[in-house]
Amino acid sequence: MKSEAMQYPTATNTFTFLFFSFTVLFSFFSFLVFLFRMKPWCNCHTCRAYLTLTWTKQFNNLADWYTHLLRKSPTATIHMHVLGNIITADPNNVEYILKTRFDNYPKGKQFSTLLGDLLGRGIFNVDGEAWRFQRKMASLELGSVAIRSYALEVVTKEIRSRLFNIFNQNDGVLDLQDIFRRFSFDNICIFSFGLDPGCLEPSLPVSDLAVAFDDASKLSAERAMMASPIIWKMKRLLNIGSEKKLKEAVKVVNDLAEEMIKQRREMGHSTSKDLLSRFMSSVNDDKDLRDIVVNFLLAGRDTVAAALTCFFLLLSKNPQVESLIREELDRVMEPAQDVARFDQLCDMHYLNAAVHESMRLYPPVQFDSKFALQDDVLPDGTFVRKGTRVTYHPYAMGRMERIWGSDCLEFKPERWLRDGVFVPKCPFKYPVFQAGPRVCLGRELALVEMKSAVAASVRRFDIRVVNTGSEPRFMPGLTATVRGGMPVQVSERRQ
């Protein structure tokens, strides 16, 4: 016999039943909309190769396959129908998207919801007025000479007290990628919060913030790889699996950020030089402060580490470039000097050229997407339907003969020099730091950090990548991370 509760459902049971029915129906409807927009039934040659993964037989990385397709395309633009994504390597299209019709190509809701739990309403994750306001404020802060010399002060200390020790104490193989990730995380945390997580300090325990931040950015990026956003949204609603882990990681980041903000308020922030203290004079809301600083952590951490890691891969393969860098260091620095000063870094044209050249071949952000607000036509004639994702691809662009000439695959710092002086290239041909109104705000800081680390390391050590024979395989994610790390052997040079 049925129990009374089963014969007469309670109000709670009815609510649960209605809630789940609504969720299932809503998800099904959203999935149909998704199918319709993405056209996963497209049977063209490229889409079939994508869906059946046949491209993996010939290429190590998706970026290499896209490069191959873009080089073959007469317009240097391709349309991945199954992904609803137009990908371009044409500098005119890039200028049009990033500058001429900037207002028609925002980051869009699709992007901001993926990273929203971690980045909140920070500069990286918003469009329109919210972006304009933060951009203005952040440009003022980051453009100052004082912040640049503070950044160099932070980096110099990290090199002297930690990077040299790690290189000195080893007697085997080191993972250079891991070392530079720790190095850049320490730097960006001290620079942004005034907090030293000590990631590169072997005697300190693993930093909670570093682990939580890694997890949160990885799990947020993985949302983009799911067949449909409905999947992660359902998991988040039910607080299960990867979404539960993401929520926990974001909580650790938030708790630490709140604690830092509280401490700064108690200590008084007017004498501190970090970004948080600087922003505190103009931003009162603690949530806004948290968002601003966490966005800087994401922007400045993995990018610099990725750039440094691939730089040393190219240097190992091109010893003649290393010799020319050393000649320049000997010319500009004093004989017993370990880390270069700011004015000396400005005089190192060959080093600057080598750093730019390595990011041409291995840009830390390999591709970047916007979403069209209205129907449009790109300069090469490609029609863009409203809502379509439009991607520019710095990795492919660095490997286009049409842009860099027939020696485009060679590592040649000389292409950036005229009479020994560094000459920048058009940013729409080299959008490694993006270009136009939303160009990277940390470009100068990143270059100071990279050049300092390279100059100090190359002057004192021989750093050799163990296996230079094979091309790197990258992991899917926001920045270029080499699968399996970058094993190197390090030895101190005899002077």
- Under the rule (CB under 6 A), what is the footprint of ligand HEM? 123-124, 135, 296, 299-300, 303-304, 307, 364-365, 368, 432-434, 438, 440-442, 445-446
CB of 299 vs ligand HEM, minimal distance in Å:
3
Beta-carbon contacts of residue 332 (< 8 Å; ≥ 6 apart): 340, 344, 347, 348
Distance CA 64, CA 399 (A): 10
Neighbours of 320 (CB within 10 A): 7
Could you tell me the smallest distance in angstroms from the CB atom of residue 307 to ligand HEM? 4
The CA distance from 404 to 407, in Å, is 7
Q: Cα angle vertex 446, ends 445, 448, to 5°?
A: 65
Q: CB-side exposure of 189: number of CA atoms within 13 Å? A: 22
Chain position carrying tokens 């501190």 = 272
Under the phi-then-psi rule, with left for phi > 0, alpha for psi from -120 to 50, and beta for the rest, what region is 241? Answer: left
| Three-class DSSP category at 24 | helix
Residue of closest CB approach to ligand HEM: 442
For the bound state, the minimum distance from the C-beta of residue 446 to ligand HEM, rounded and expressed in Å, comes to 4
By beta-carbon proximity to ligand HEM, the closer residue of 81 and 368 is 368
**Burial of 275: CB neighbours in 10 Å, binned 0-12, 13-18, 19+:** buried
E strands, 259-408, are: 368-371, 376-377, 383-384, 389-392
CB of 27 to ligand HEM, least distance (A): 29
346 labeled binding residue: no
Q: Which residue, among 389, 391, 399, 390, has the nearest Cα to 363 in the 3D structure? A: 399
Q: How far is the CB of 368 from ligand HEM (least distance, A)?
A: 5
CB of 364 to ligand HEM, least distance (A): 4
Give the nearer residue to ligand HEM in terms of CB position, either 50 or 296: 296
CA-closest candidate to residue 103, choices 127, 139, 130: 127
- Residue 365 burial by Cβ neighbours in a 10 Å radius (0-12, 13-18, 19+): buried
Q: Which helix (H) or strand (E) element contains residue 79?
A: strand 77-80
Residue 213 sits at φ, ψ, to 5 deg, of: -65, -40
Q: Which is nearer to ligand HEM, 81 or 356 (CB)?
A: 356
- Residue 427 CB, shortest distance to ligand HEM, in Å, is 11
User: Which residue lies nearer to ligand HEM by CB, 47 or 257?
Assistant: 257
Alpha-carbon gap, residue 133 to 137, rounded angstroms: 6
The distance of closest approach from Cβ of residue 69 to ligand HEM in the complex, given in angstroms and rounded to an integer, is 22
**Which residues contribute to the annotated binding site?**
440
**Which residues contribute to the annotated binding site for heme?**
440
